[in-house]
Amino acid sequence: MSELRSHLRIALASIRCFTDDGTLDTNELNYLLGIAKADGNIDEDEKRVLASIISKAANRVDAGTAKRIGEIRNELGF
């Protein structure tokens, strides 16, 4: 079986992040970003999936995670 494409791995990993407590914290967000950065390049599919996850989580995060979301949005341009 071939390895899952990274944007699919990000989407699947995000399910675990949300199902444990219904929110996304900084460590979980950084983990998802790490999947995207593992090959040294964040492609458009990875950006799309990360943007979707962040948009769903952004209104239910603590101040530190909100700050990190802002940094990621600036870095990735969404």
For the cut 70, the answer to whether the pLDDT of residue 61 exceeds it is yes
Ordered alpha helix ranges (H), 1-78: 6-21, 26-37, 44-57, 63-76
Q: Does residue 16 form part of some domain?
A: yes
Q: Does residue 43 form part of some domain?
A: yes
Q: 45, exposed or middle or buried, with CB in 10 Å at 0-12, 13-18, 19+? A: middle
Q: What is the pTM of this model?
A: 0.88
pLDDT in tens, 31-52: 999 999 999 999 999 999 999 9
Q: Which two tokens stand for residue 71?
A: 């940094």
Q: Does residue 1 form part of some domain?
A: no
Q: Does residue 69 form part of some domain?
A: yes
Question: How far is the C-alpha of 27 from the C-alpha of 70, rounded, in Å?
Answer: 15
The answer for residues whose C-beta is within 8 angstroms of residue 61's C-beta and 6 or more apart is 23, 24, 25, 69
Domain that holds residue 69: 6-76
Total domain count for the chain?
A: 1
